[in-house]
Chain A
Amino acid sequence: GAVVSQHPSWVICKSGTSVKIECRSLDFQATTMFWYRQFPKQSLMLMATSNEGSKATYEQGVEKDKFLINHASLTLSTLTVTSAHPEDSSFYICSARDRAISYEQYFGPGTRLTVT
Chain B
Amino acid sequence: LAKTTQPISMDSYEGQEVNITCSHNNIATNDYITWYQQFPSQGPRFIIQGYKTKVTNEVASLFIPADRKSSTLSLPRVSLSDTAVYYCLVGGNDYKLSFGAGTTVTVRA
Contact = CB atoms under 8 A, between A and B. Distances in A.
Contacts, number: 52
A34 B96 contact: yes
A106 B41 contact: no
Nearest to A111: B43
B42 interface: yes
Main secondary structure of the interface of A (DSSP, over half): strand
Contacts of A110: 41-43
Interface string A35-59: 0100000011110010000000000
Interface residues on A, range: 20 to 34
B44 A112 contact: no
Contact of A97 (B42, B95, B99): B95
Contacts of B42: 109-110
Task: Pick from B43, B45, B99, B102 the residue with the most CB of A within 10 Å.
Answer: B43
Contacts of B87: 43-44
B43 A109 contact: yes
A6 B95 CA distance: 21
Nearest to A43: B99
A89 interface: no
A107 B99 contact: no
A26 B85 CA distance: 26
8 contacts: A43-B99, A43-B102, A44-B44, A46-B96, A93-B43, A102-B95, A103-B49, A110-B43
Given A102-B93, A104-B46, 18 more contacts: A4-B43, A6-B43, A34-B96, A43-B87, A49-B96, A93-B44, A95-B43, A95-B44, A103-B49, A103-B95, A105-B34, A105-B46, A107-B36, A107-B44, A107-B45, A107-B46, A109-B42, A112-B41
